[in-house]
Chain A
Amino acid sequence: MSALSNTNSMKALSVTTAVSDELQPDIKFKMIVENLNFSYGSVQALFDISMKIRRNRVTALIGPSGCGKSTFLRVLNRMNETIPGTSMEGTVLLDGRNIYEDFDDPSAIRTRVGMVFQKSNPFPKSIFDNVAYGLRVNGIKNKQLIIQVVEQSLRRAALWEEVEDKLDNSAFMLSGGQQQRLCIARALAIRPEVILMDEPASALDPISTAKIEDLIGELRKHYTIVIVTHNMQQAARVSDHTGFFYEGRLIEYGPTKQIFTRPAKKKTEDYVTGRFG
């Protein structure tokens, strides 16, 4: 990451997020959500959710389809704002700053809270340009720097060895698993602090899934990760903390081990033991 600590690049990336307030970010928690309500038009999707997301840990969100876990994930980087007709109440803090009030531009949030989607969605561009996209839209023009960051990001996403001699090929030539790792590399390139993953392995074969899970294990050293998953074993394998969502409410939230072995709530137990869902 040496090239990335280049002060110029840091400035370019953080210039849009500069706020002069002296805030003491919570050491333990990266993001704090308080009393969150969210609606699509007249349909309320999330009810009074409060959740503290730990720094440099993997937090898994589980629950049956339509329980609001993906909606919650998308609240964390203001992606829900791209959908017309939604409304939200409550606060979402990132290192103590309200992401909905202290930032005018949602794109500034999204460079700090990156996202990987369920369906790999590379741009119809070359592998290189896919990873460089985030840098370019954030105003970085230094070619040397872009080349370095692209390589580092692809290395971090465990994809470099497979693509290093075909960076100019279209991203669509990659397999599904490779495409998803490319999307992770693309998200890493803008140096986010938090990475949101929305069922990142649900469309992949077991081998690719294992690679993504290994990768998550690596990434947690540097990033705070929130992952939505349908796969209970996956949640148990990769996460440190787990939150169980049901019908728009956060039913239970705690260390993954506890959620899976001695859940406090009956609903949680029924779900993790496969009795419903």
Chain B
Amino acid sequence: MKTIELQPNTNSLEVVGHLKFGRKRRGFIPRGVTFLAVLIILLMLAVIIGNIVIGGTPTISWEFLTHPPEQGMEAGGVFPAIFGTVALVILMVIAVIPIGVFTAIYLQEYTSPKSRITRLIRIAINNLAGVPSIVFGLFGLGFFIAFVGGGLDSLFYPEEGPVWGQPAIIWASLTLALLTLPVVIISTEEALRTIPRELREASYALGGTKLQTIWRIIIPQATPGILTGSILAVSRGAGEVAPIMFTGAAYYLPYLPTKLNDQFMELGYHIYVMATQSPDIEATKPLLYGTVLVLLLLTFSLNSVAILIRSRMRRSRVSAQ
């Protein structure tokens, strides 16, 4: 760049030609280094996914997908774990979306971004995102199960054994919701920030109240962003094991969860159990591969459904413009 400033009077064409040549040669090394980094990532991904697909595909069958584990997990399938994972993620989304979206709306629409309270809340949210997931698991155990669940039991079921004060799918999904809350808040806020001021003003100018403006204009506009948040929350939540091992996931269950206070089997936890607790690791290996593949496919398909919905909404908006 300096050459241009130093030689303002030389023939400009010559300078440009010279620069172009030099830049091309100098650009080769950074380009090569950065490309190498990309290559390493792609290779790793290919190895991981390739290994899982090759190892897992022979195991996957209709039987495997629709049957419970048998013979101490050395045979049978993973159906209860698939069912449990889907149920867990759905409950988590139901819990995290309203709380996350309302928090983002509060921060973005009702408080001034410069106020101390807003900054404090933002710091808290960022810290929440940095808490290790095992800590969430312990928190879920202490708060949801012992405090909330135990409290409910002593209030409503003092005679019986624990009804709510025990590991259950509701507590596991709430713990996961807490873990994924920052993701939803941040992406919703991002979406709210991009809504032009003119739209809000148009609504106010027509006699719309703040609540009507938020409900009829702002939330519909922010929906793709909210969906992005839920996609990220699902991919994060579906793969987490640590937060659910104390709060509701079961080693093995002969039945499917049908009530909110039932325990459940979950794919990630099932993988952990098979990998660490099996007496004969060689016998469970194919099943392990199959289960990992199922978890991957499930997460991908949950993601792609959400991405599909989002891109459809975006397209309708883009074509509208």
Contact of A107 among B198, B209, B221, B317 (CB under 8 A): B209
Complexed CA–CA distance, A79 and B205 (Å)? 7
Measured between C-beta atoms, what is the minimum distance from B172 to chain A in Å? 38
Which parts of B213-240 form the interface with A (CB within 8 Å)? 216-217, 220-221
- B310 contacts A by Cβ under 8 Å: no
Is A110 touching B204 in the complex (CB atoms < 8 A)?
yes
Complexed CA–CA distance, A37 and B39 (Å)? 64
Complexed CA–CA distance, A1 and B319 (Å)? 35
Complexed CA–CA distance, A105 and B320 (Å)? 34
- B207 contacts A by Cβ under 8 Å: yes
- A173 contacts B by Cβ under 8 Å: yes
Chain B, Cβ-Cβ closest to A114: B205
Is A119 touching B207 in the complex (CB atoms < 8 A)?
no
- B19 contacts A by Cβ under 8 Å: no
Is A108 touching B112 in the complex (CB atoms < 8 A)?
no
Is B207 touching A134 in the complex (CB atoms < 8 A)?
yes
- B303 contacts A by Cβ under 8 Å: no
Measured between C-beta atoms, what is the minimum distance from A53 to chain B in Å? 18
| Chain A residues, Cβ within 8 Å of B27 | none
Complexed CA–CA distance, A276 and B58 (Å)? 82
Chain A, Cβ-Cβ closest to B215: A137
Contact of A121 with B320 at beta-carbon distance under 8 Å, contacts A137-B212, A138-B207, A190-B206 already known: no
- A274 contacts B by Cβ under 8 Å: no
Q: Is the interface of A mostly helix, strand, loop or mixed?
A: helix
Which residue, of B112, B199, B203, B221, has the highest number of chain A Cβ atoms within 10 A? B203
Contact of A124 with B221 at beta-carbon distance under 8 Å, contacts A133-B216, A172-B321 already known: yes
- B201 contacts A by Cβ under 8 Å: yes
B: contact size bracket: 20 to 34
Which parts of B148-198 form the interface with A (CB within 8 Å)? 196, 198
Is A121 touching B209 in the complex (CB atoms < 8 A)?
no
| Chain B residues, Cβ within 8 Å of A121 | 196, 198-199, 201-202
| Chain B residues, Cβ within 8 Å of A82 | 200-201, 204
Contact digits for A45-89, partner B, Cβ 8 Å, 1 yes 0 no: 000000000000000000000000000000001010010100000
Contact digits for A119-154, partner B, Cβ 8 Å, 1 yes 0 no: 101111000000001101110000000000000000
Is A110 touching B198 in the complex (CB atoms < 8 A)?
no
Complexed CA–CA distance, A188 and B196 (Å)? 23
Is A107 touching B208 in the complex (CB atoms < 8 A)?
yes
- A44 contacts B by Cβ under 8 Å: no
Contact of B317 among A114, A124, A134, A190 (CB under 8 A): A124
Chain A, Cβ-Cβ closest to B111: A84
| Chain B residues, Cβ within 8 Å of A137 | 203, 206-209, 212, 216
Complexed CA–CA distance, A53 and B32 (Å)? 70
Which residue, of B199, B205, B208, B220, has the highest number of chain A Cβ atoms within 10 A? B205
Contact of A77 with B320 at beta-carbon distance under 8 Å, contacts A123-B199, A133-B216 already known: no
Contact digits for A165-176, partner B, Cβ 8 Å, 1 yes 0 no: 000001111000
| Chain B residues, Cβ within 8 Å of A110 | 204-207
Measured between C-beta atoms, what is the minimum distance from A56 to chain B in Å? 21
Chain B, Cβ-Cβ closest to A77: B205
Complexed CA–CA distance, A171 and B208 (Å)? 19
Is A186 touching B200 in the complex (CB atoms < 8 A)?
no
Measured between C-beta atoms, what is the minimum distance from B119 to chain A in Å? 16
- A92 contacts B by Cβ under 8 Å: no
Contact of A186 with B320 at beta-carbon distance under 8 Å, contacts A121-B196, A121-B199, A133-B216 already known: no
Is A172 touching B205 in the complex (CB atoms < 8 A)?
no
Is B202 touching A183 in the complex (CB atoms < 8 A)?
yes
Is B207 touching A108 in the complex (CB atoms < 8 A)?
yes
Measured between C-beta atoms, what is the minimum distance from B108 to chain A in Å? 13
Contact digits for B307-321, partner A, Cβ 8 Å, 1 yes 0 no: 000000000010111
Is A187 touching B199 in the complex (CB atoms < 8 A)?
no
Measured between C-beta atoms, what is the minimum distance from A164 to chain B in Å? 20
Complexed CA–CA distance, A107 and B204 (Å)? 7
Is B320 touching A172 in the complex (CB atoms < 8 A)?
yes
Complexed CA–CA distance, A138 and B216 (Å)? 13
Complexed CA–CA distance, A181 and B221 (Å)? 23
Is A119 touching B320 in the complex (CB atoms < 8 A)?
no
Which parts of A29-55 form the interface with B (CB within 8 Å)? none
| Chain A residues, Cβ within 8 Å of B212 | 137
Complexed CA–CA distance, A48 and B160 (Å)? 75
Measured between C-beta atoms, what is the minimum distance from B295 to chain A in Å? 38
Contact digits for A219-255, partner B, Cβ 8 Å, 1 yes 0 no: 0000000000000000000000000000000000000
A-B contact pairs, 11 of them (CB 8 A): A79-B201, A117-B198, A121-B201, A122-B202, A123-B203, A136-B216, A137-B203, A137-B208, A137-B209, A138-B207, A171-B320
The 4 closest A-B pairs by CB, nearest first: A134-B206, A170-B320, A121-B198, A111-B207
